[in-house]
Amino acid sequence: MGALCKAQQIREKMKRGELVTGGHTFYLDPSITEALGLHGFEFVWIDGEHSAFDKASTLSHIIAAAAADTASIVRVPWNDPVLVKPVLEMGPDGILFPMVCTAEEARKAVAACMYPPKGVRGFGPRRANRYGAMENEEFLSHPEESFLRIIQIEHVDAVRNLREILDVEGIDFPLVGANDLSASIGHLGDTRHPKVRALCDEIVEICREKNRPFGVSLGAGDREAIRYWIQKGVSFMGCGDDISYISMGCRATMEYVNSCIKEKQIKASE
C-alpha cells in the first residue's frame, strides 16, 4: 500500500493518544476547505447535513482537501446507503453518520460502507480508485482501511445503547454531537447543563471501558469546551466552522472600528 493514507494516519495518531484537530465547512466554495487545510487543520468536516452541498460541490471540497494535504470527512444527511454510495465513490477520507442511536443503526451504517459479503456497497469507484489509475486488485485489497467510519452520538438513547453500538465491527469511533444531545433531554443549546455534561461524562467512561477513541464537534472560539474535552482525553475534535470564523472576524473588526470612532468623538468633545 505504500505510504499511509490519511485515514490510516489519523488512526495511528489516535492510537498514540494524540489529538487530531479540524474544522467544519458549510460554504460551497471549495477554496474555503483548501484554506482551512493550509492553516493547519488535520481534517475538514464537509457538512452535507446542514448545508446546501450537492454531489458536485461535495466532490470539489474533497479534491480541495487533498490539495491542502488534509483529510476530508463528509457528514452525509442521513444513515441511508443511497446517500452514502455516491459519496464513497468520491474517495473521501471519512464518512460521518448523524444520529446513530442503536446497534442496528450502526450495523446499517457499516454495511453501507462495505462491499459484499460484509455489506451492501455497490461497486462503482470513480475518484476512490483514482479514476481507474489504481487497478481493481489494488483497490479491493484495502477498501475498508482507506476511509474512516464515524458515528455521531447525539441522542440520550444513543448513550444508553453505546456499549452495544461500540461492539459493532467496522466503526472507527463515535463522535459526540452535544447540541442535539442537549435537545434530546430538553436543554437545546445548553451544552454545559449539568445533565448534558453528565451524559458526556458517561460517553467518555464507556469509551474508556471499551478502550475506544472518541471525537467531538464544538463551536468556534469555545475555549471552555476545548479545554473540557481535551482534559477528558478526546482524540478527534472539530473546532468551529467557516461561517462562525467569518462572523467572529467581522464582529471583532466592527467592535474595534466602533470603539475607535467613539474614542475620536470623545476627544473631539473635550
Which positions are catalytic?
50
Cell of 62: 474533497
Largest CA distance in the chain: 82
At 101, give phi and psi (nearest 5°): -115, -15
Cell of 52: 446546501
Beta carbons of 152 and 194 less than 8 angstroms apart: no
196-205 LR contacts (CB < 8 Å, sep 24+)? 199/156, 199/159, 200/176, 200/232, 201/232, 202/159, 202/162, 203/153, 203/159, 203/162, 203/174, 203/176, 204/232, 204/233
At 28, give phi and psi (nearest 5°): -80, -20
Q: How would you classify the pairing of strands 236-241 and 173-177? A: unpaired
